Structures are given as structure tokens and as C-alpha cells.
Amino acid sequence: MKKILLLVVGMFALGLDAFVISGLLPFISQDLNVSIASAAQAVTAFTLCYALSAPICATLLSGKEIKNILLLALLIFTCGNILSALSTSFTLLIISRGIAGIGAGIYSPLAVVSAAVLVKPAQKGSALSLALGGMSMGVVLGVPLGLFIATKISWQGTLWLIVALGVIGMLALQFKFPKIKAPAPPTLIERISILKNYKVAVIVGISFLTAIASLGLYTFISLIVINLHASYSLTEYFWVWGVGGMIGSFAVGKIIDKTRAPRIVMIFILILLVFALFAIPITINHSIISSIPFLVWGIMGWASQTPQQHALINVAPRHAATAVALNSSINYLGGAVGAILGGILLSAKISVTMLINLSGFTAAIALIGQMLIIYHPRNK
């Protein structure tokens, strides 16, 4: 398991980079003289390239040594963050965020595959939890630290922290990581072709809508806290959301193992997500309960992926790896689409409260779709 820790450094950096930018938007907006809604497209560039790079690069890099691919991925990721830290224009920032997203999209799935290969079958679950836990720890511990650095030094200082983590991750892999071969991840064509399976298509469709509502809205947490005059600081809301993410990531698996009903679990997740999103504008000025919707939002947003993965494995057991990989890409694609749509709507002068409510309605549509999946005769 010690070798898994070598991968965790990179996963921590990825988690920090993927989620801290949303908190840096006010600083970026002021420094580069763009609106926060426009600055949010820096998040879109990262998540979109993250979603698309994994399947595309899986084809280009298949058959290569896993260690070398991981090093290449972290190098691309680190270079992207160096360019981001040095950006003096918004255009350069967008390009650099896309480069960082490409590196992250290559690294993350291969790190998870490598974690499973490095241990005995009986330890596979623990290895995967440790690898994925590195990303969630990047959100819980890294994002508040990144925001603290941005407040005390600069938003570029946060990116230099990510650069340092990327370099440490590369050094650890270079000198300590074994040479291993792992199965090539599914190609882009394989991921798309599996959508011909109707049941797979509707499941990932629900994942897509959920990601638009949850990850898409996450991009605009800074605007929510500032415009709605929240009771606490931005850092505290990010921290609460991240803690929720950790709870959701680790707890949902046990719930599914006990109930053996991932599709029913997904219904309850979506119900709570809908209530949490609609509750944000109502509770955000009441200090006692202000953070509760953010906590529930974090729990349900992160928990939503596990029942979907279980459901995909059940409906497509012969193509389980491809289906799960597709769902992962769809999740980040939904986050990117949500950020784009949110930016367009905010540019059209809709209120932040309306944006939150639209996210709640999107989650409600996902809930209705999930109910149809369960109770429609075609899905039984």
C-alpha cells in the first residue's frame, strides 16, 4: 500500500486544482479585469479538457509504460499550472487551464488503474479508496489552504503551491514507482459505442444532469457567497462542501452494500440534493443553519457517482470498465456544461438566486428521470 501513496500526491494536487479555482474567481476577476462570470470559464476550460482528454489519450498512449504516462501527465499538468500562475491575460489563462486539465484527465484514471494493479485482489477496494481519497483530501484540506494563500499572498501563490505538489509527485514517481503494465483504459470509440445500450444511455444521462446541477453550480460558489451576503466567509463554505464530499464518497458505498439497491439510493441522493440547492437562498443569511445546505450538497454531489457506477456494472457487466469510464467523463463534461450555461445566464443578468433555483430544477429533472428508469417497464 505504500506505493499507492506515491500516486496520492498527484491526486491531491488534481483535487486541489480542479476545485480551488472556483474560490479564486474574485481574485482572478479583479486582476485580469474580467467579470466573475467570465472568469468562471477558466473552470470550464479545465473540466472540459479533463473530461475529453482521458478517452482520447487512452487511444494515443495505449501500450506504453504506465509509469512514463503518469510522469508525462504530471508534467503536462504542472506546465499548465506554471502558465496559469504566469498569465497576464485572460486568454492565456484559459489556454493554460485547458493544458492543466489535459494532464489531469490523463493522470487520474491511470492512477486509479495503477492502484488496483499494485495490490492483491483482497486489497483492491482499499487501494482504490486511498487513491480516490487523495483527490477528496485535496478538496477538504487543499482548497481552504489555497484560499488562505490567495488572501494573504496572491491567487498565483495558490497555483505555485499546486506546481510544487506536481513536482513532488513527479519526483516520487520517478525514483520510487515500479514499472508496471496495466490494461489500457477504454478508447473514445469504445466509450461512445456503449451508448447504443439504452439502459447505459439513460443512466449516464442522469449523471450528466446531476453534474450540471451540482458541479456546474459549484463553479459559482464565490458569487453565491458574495452576492447573497452569506453569514460566513468563502473559505468556510468551501471547507463545509469539501467535508460533505468526503462523507459522501466514503459513506455511500457502505449504504449500497447494505441495501443492494443503487438505483433506489440514487433517488434519495437526488431528493436531498434538490432540497439542499433550493434551501441555499433561504438559509444563507441565517448563521445557525447557513452551512447545512452546502454540507448536504457536498455529500450528495460526491455520493451520486457510486450508485451510478454500480448500476452501470449491473446493466452492462461485459463492458463494465468502459461504462464506468464513460460515466466519469460524463460527470466532468456535465460540470463544464453547467459552468458554461451559468456564465451565459449570468451575463444575461439573471440573479444568482435564479441560477441556484435553475440548478435545483435541473436536479429535479434528474430525479424524475431516475424514477422513470426504475418504474418504466422497459427498464425492469
The upper half-sphere exposure of residue 165, i.e. CA atoms within 13 Å in the direction of its Cβ, equals: 24
pLDDT score of 182 more than 60? no
Range list of H helices, 90-220: 90-117, 124-137, 143-152, 155-176, 188-193, 198-218
Kindly state the average pLDDT of the residues 125-146. 76
pLDDT score of 355 more than 90? yes
Evaluate whether 1-185 and 186-380 have a shared fold.
yes
Kindly state the average pLDDT of the residues 118-122. 69
Q: What is the pLDDT of residues 227-250, one digit of tens each?
A: 998 889 888 999 899 889 888 877
pLDDT score of 89 more than 60? yes
pLDDT mean across residues, the chain: 86
pLDDT-based confidence at residue 214 (cuts at 50, 70, 90):
very high
Q: Which residue has the higher pLDDT, 380 or 232?
A: 232
Amino acid identity, position 227? N
Residue carrying C-alpha cell 482520447: 56
What's the topology of domain 186-380? Growth Hormone; Chain: A; (1.20.1250)
Q: Which residue has the higher pLDDT, 139 or 183?
A: 139
pLDDT score of 180 more than 80? no
Q: Enumerate residues 6+ apart whose C-beta is below 8 A from 324.
A: 309, 312, 313
13, 146 in Cβ contact below 8 A?
no
Distance separating the N- and C-terminal Cα atoms of the chain: 41
Helix or strand or coil: residue 31? helix
pLDDT score of 80 more than 90? yes
Q: Which residue has the higher pLDDT, 244 or 137?
A: 244
pLDDT-based confidence at residue 271 (cuts at 50, 70, 90):
very high
Domain 1-185, CATH number (from 1.20.1250.20, 3.40.50.11890, 1.10.10.10, 1.20.120.1200): 1.20.1250.20
Amino acid identity, position 293? P
- Residue ranges of domains in the chain: 1-185, 186-380
Q: Enumerate residues 6+ apart whose C-beta is below 8 A from 207.
A: 304, 305, 308, 327, 330, 331, 334
pLDDT score of 103 more than 60? yes
The upper half-sphere exposure of residue 29, i.e. CA atoms within 13 Å in the direction of its Cβ, equals: 17
DSSP type of residue 123: G
Percent residues over pLDDT 90 in the chain: 44
Q: Which of 132, 92, 146, 100 is nearest to 11 (CA)?
A: 132
At residue 125, the pLDDT reads 56
Other Cβ atoms within 10 Å of 83 Cβ, number: 18
